[in-house]
Amino acid sequence: MTIKVISLCWFYVLLLTTTNLLQAAERPNVLLIICDDLNGYVDGFGGHPQTKTPNIARLARSGVSFTQAHCNIPICAPSRASLFTGIYPHNSGCFGFTKWDGYDVLKNSRTLMDHFRENGYQTLGTGKLMHHLVRPEWKQYGNPADYGPFAYDGNEKVAHPDVPAPYRDIGAVDGSFGPFVNLKGRTTPDGKPVSWINGRWGVNAKALRVESQQDRDLTPDELNGEWAVEQLQSRAGKPGRQPFFMGVGFIRPHTPLIVPKRFFDLFPLDSIKLPVIRPGDVEDTHARSIRGLAGGAEPDAPRTEDMGTRLFNTLVGSYASQEDAMRHFIQAYLASVASADEQIGRILDAVDNSPLKDNTIIILTSDHGWGMGEKNYLYKNSLWQESTRVPLIVRAPGVGKAKGVSTRPVSLIDIYPTLIDLCGLTHETTKNKNGHPLDGYSLKPLLENPAHGEWSGPDSVLTALYKWRMQYDPSQESYALRADNWRYIRYENGKEELYFTPDDAYEWTNLADDPAHAKTLQGFRRQLKSRIPMPGSDVPPQPPFQPKKSAATRPAAQPSAEAWKETYFAKHPAADANKDGTLPCPEYKAYREEFDPLPNK
């Protein structure tokens, strides 16, 4: 390549970058707040009558609440992989906890933040966003995910000293809840003194100090709230600067449910109301027919316990009664939700008390829900509504209706295309032919008209179920569809559940074997087959999402900086320093500086 040609290419790159930055300057900022394991226990989402989330309610008053929003797989890692790449688990193969960027489809597709970065945004993040952090996607990252505070016996993390055995024996994460208080004089049941530690490992592990409620170290969620507020304040009141995409991931109400005591004090134990649970509800369900304690069971294996059943039975067995057990756990969960709400309030204040208020889109959601003993199940990762449903609130200044409520079933897969639509970014989100286009649809029409907006997505939300396996075959997994009035579940062994939600809000009565609903059941079977490639399917899979080109979209014919980089990569394979088959900007820049300096440098 001659120097003249290189100069010309570089000129195009500069021109495109400058154009991107100019366009970007007029684009709104994005603030994506994601809580962990937060179910419908949020004001306005009908979950628990005692929930205290005044700040989330404040956000809802200024935006649109989606009351039938669901996750696409109800457990942390694959749900986040799907949300942040906009690709269903069945199209990526990512159903589990293997690093998301190890999947060919996901590695060759852009994450939400990488796409914003590519479109001229500053990307800022803190806390738990994706399960595996890829640093080059972020301009700045505050704190990596930290599940602390943890109780610590001097040797290992243990359950909170308030938690009785045998529940505490489940461990420091799932078996632990209680207030973040001074632990002086407290011990484990075998007499070891207990103190506090953060959730990091090795050299990053750090003791947390609690003298009193006023004099103590901050929790990881408080540190993330503080970081986000500082970043927002430093960007407020500076018009014309590069817009930002900020992701803030709060850990609570993920276990261990450990938050400052004042949040527990908001929910006196005796006052806690219990969820509506029908005795024997579990009997006509089939989740247990596919699971065993170790994470798997043969389809015809006898009914065995799974994690949700194990947590429920163990909790109940650790207190005087089921009611007593549930009151303790729900108190800790409500306290954790209230603590996350307080941090969300600080962030809202930072936006609303500054010029950022009018040009910052705010999205609040969770990676999945949590079952609170319904169907004798205390956990996430079920295909019932307690696990699949999430709060979702979108505030889009100048676009979305204030106090809007949409009851249309939508899902986390729709967040990525919605943000592309609202910010006028290019729809090209794959890095090359091995990537996959976005599976979701823009919620913008529902933001403009929550009750009657035109929805171009499917009629029902698709949720897959996580199960530990060495390898996943999308045609052999378990799935749920949530349509306007129905929930349909098909487990991997072919067993089914069908609920008519207008008459059965708690999904108590499985109608799958009722001949009166045979036609509806057939309809859902066909619908699922049309969305998941299954053996023997006579319906071809849906074509991938083909977005309409909006005026703000960069014309496809224009050569992109990315395409130029691909060409450069082909000529300079050595630039791929870590040999992972991709050439992100930092690698590209480092290579150029060292081995292929630009002519004008």
Which residues bind to Ca ion, rule: CB under 5 A? 36-37, 76, 281, 284, 367, 508
The vertex-109 CA angle with 111 and 392, nearest 5°, equals 40
Residue nearest Ca ion, Cβ-based: 76
C-alpha to C-alpha distance for 122 and 562, rounded to whole angstroms: 17
Nearer Cβ to Ca ion (117/286): 286
The owner of tokens 């919620």 is 443
The two tokens of residue 438 are 């976005």
Neighbour count for residue 41 (Cβ, 10 Å): 26
Phi, psi of 32 (to 5 degrees): -105, 115
Neighbour count for residue 180 (Cβ, 10 Å): 26
How do beta strands 461-464 and 479-482 pair?
antiparallel
Instruction: Write the single-letter amino acid at 471.
Output: Q
- 470-477 long-range CB contacts below 8 Å, 24 or more apart? 472/89, 472/93, 472/95, 472/96, 474/89, 474/90, 474/91, 474/93, 474/532, 474/533, 475/532, 475/533, 475/534, 475/535, 477/89, 477/90, 477/95, 477/532
The two tokens of residue 127 are 């806390």
Please list, in sequence order, all residues whose beta carbon lies within 8 angstroms of the beta carbon of residue 102, skipping any fewer than 6 positions away: none
Q: Is the peptide bond before 149 cis (omega within 30 degrees of 0)?
A: yes
Least Cβ distance, residue 376 to Ca ion (angstroms): 11
Taking alpha carbons only, the member of 162, 161, 158, 188 closest to residue 173 is 158
| C-alpha 498, offset from chain centre | 26
Which 8-state DSSP code applies to residue 549?
A: P
Taking alpha carbons only, the member of 447, 426, 428 closest to residue 438 is 428
Taking alpha carbons only, the member of 494, 414, 491 closest to residue 455 is 414
The two tokens of residue 131 are 């399960």
Burial class (CB in 10 A: 0-12, 13-18, 19+), 237: exposed
Phi, psi of 104 (to 5 degrees): -55, -50
Least Cβ distance, residue 380 to Ca ion (angstroms): 6
Burial class (CB in 10 A: 0-12, 13-18, 19+), 279: exposed
C-alpha to C-alpha distance for 247 and 264, rounded to whole angstroms: 27
- 93-102 long-range CB contacts below 8 Å, 24 or more apart? 93/472, 93/474, 95/464, 95/466, 95/467, 95/469, 95/472, 95/477, 96/466, 96/468, 96/469, 96/472, 97/131, 99/131, 99/132, 100/130, 100/131, 100/132, 101/132, 101/134
